[in-house]
Amino acid sequence: MSLAQALLQGDRRALSRALTWVENAAPEGEELLKALFPHTGKAHLVGITGPPGVGKSTLVNQLARYYRKDHMPPKTVAIVAVDPTSPFTGGALLGDRIRMRDLTGDPGVFIRSMASRGAVGGLAWATGRVAQVLDAAGFDLIFIETVGTGQAEVDIARLAHTVVVVQAPGLGDEVQALKAGILEIADILVVNKADRPGAAEMARTLAQWLPKAEREGEEASSWQPPVLLTTALRGQGIPEVARALEAHRAFLQRTGLWQARERHRLEAEIRERLREALWQTWEAGGGRERLEAMVQAVLQRKMAPQDAVRRLLEASSEQP
């Protein structure tokens, strides 16, 4: 039996091995993704993002628990937790599982940690592909926890159907909420650590300043991101977040935005793959040597980078 078949039949060892192949961009991984592709497109991809230490992992742990134990019927849950890779050593310490120990021993849960491996948008290069594999494996819900983010790591908005931005009191004044970036991608806003002073005020301020910015290319939507208070450590406010997730999913499906986001994501993947393939073809066709010559010319200020590119394009179109 092939690895893809084993995976589709629920073999967890096969799933785990498949994720490694895909994460390492192994040639087998590409074949596998191709075989699995017809089985994708069913899972609800939920991004969980926010600054370090606000309680993202704890919230994911509680949400997964809720969907396994309290939600009727229970949903199967996969979790992809991304932590940063050191830019100096290439190593990483992946610690999100520490907060997810309640989920042990449940075959309806699968947790995978990923190092960002040099990517800077809050995810790893292969996170989207890893999510595809988990989708094919049949998980109903896939939580994707980003690295602790600042204000500009918004790749998750392109990958997830629903983005939950988690904040905690004490991180900044209301001007922070006005800055473009991470708050703008929120479909649901969670103020965690609600037992701390300032949480309710923070939620009020966020709600006030949070008219939804339209994502480019999407019709004006009537979704108003709810601002919810949780104390994830004690499991408080979790059913409300789950209800908001369900409401957002229903909203996306009702308005056709589910399809629109799917389309957007797949088009982006095709573009990325095309770019990669074109570049490889170009390099293999003698582009690398010509590029080196141009770099020298530019380095000596004999040519502007713009002209270098024009010449390179001309040279490759002259190639038979």
Partner 1 sequence: MAKRRIRVLIAKPGLDGHDRGAKIVARALRDAGMEVIYTGIRQTPEMIAEAALQEDVDVVGLSILSGAHMTLVPQVLEKLREVGMGHVVVLVGGIIPPDDVPKLLEMGVYRVYGPGTPTSQIVEDIRKAVLHSASSAQPEPVP
In whole angstroms, the minimum distance from the beta carbon of 270 to partner 1 comes to 18
275 burial via Cβ count (<10 Å: 0-12, 13-18, 19+):
exposed
The single residue listed with the structure tokens 């999510």 is: 131
**Based on CB atoms, which residue is closest to partner 1, 12 or 310?**
12
CA distances from 317 to 30, 266, 306, 320 (A): 30, 29, 17, 8
In whole angstroms, the minimum distance from the beta carbon of 15 to partner 1 comes to 8
**Based on CB atoms, which residue is closest to partner 1, 69 or 263?**
69
What six digits make up the tokens of 291?
């590029």
In whole angstroms, the minimum distance from the beta carbon of 74 to partner 1 comes to 19
In whole angstroms, the minimum distance from the beta carbon of 152 to partner 1 comes to 22
In whole angstroms, the minimum distance from the beta carbon of 268 to partner 1 comes to 17
Dihedral of CA atoms 91, 96, 97, 98 in degrees, nearest 10, equals 110
**Based on CB atoms, which residue is closest to partner 1, 3 or 144?**
3
301 burial via Cβ count (<10 Å: 0-12, 13-18, 19+):
exposed
**Based on CB atoms, which residue is closest to partner 1, 3 or 252?**
3
In whole angstroms, the minimum distance from the beta carbon of 211 to partner 1 comes to 38
**Based on CB atoms, which residue is closest to partner 1, 16 or 151?**
16
In whole angstroms, the minimum distance from the beta carbon of 313 to partner 1 comes to 24
Cβ-proximal residues to 294 (8 Å cutoff; 6+ apart), any chain = 303, 308, 311, 312
> What backbone phi and psi angles, to 5 degrees, belong to 290?
-65, -35
CA proximity to 80, closest of 117, 45, 41: 45
**Based on CB atoms, which residue is closest to partner 1, 82 or 163?**
82
**Based on CB atoms, which residue is closest to partner 1, 106 or 262?**
106
In whole angstroms, the minimum distance from the beta carbon of 18 to partner 1 comes to 9
Q: Which residues of 93-119 are buried (b: 16+ CB within 10 A; e: fewer)?
A: eeebbebbeebeeeeebbbbbbbbbeb
**Based on CB atoms, which residue is closest to partner 1, 2 or 259?**
2
| Radius of gyration of the chain measured on its C-alpha atoms | 22
CA proximity to 2, closest of 38, 26, 36, 39: 36
How many other C-beta atoms can be found within 10 angstroms of the C-beta atom of residue 203?
A: 20
Cβ-proximal residues to 77 (8 Å cutoff; 6+ apart), any chain = 63, 64, 67, 68, 103, 108, 109, 110, 139, 140, 141, 142, 143
Per CB under 8 A, residues contacting partner 1 are 1-3, 6, 11-14, 16-17, 19-20, 23-26, 85-86, 89-95, 97-98, 101, 104-105, 110-113, 115, 117, 124-126
Residue 213, amino acid: A
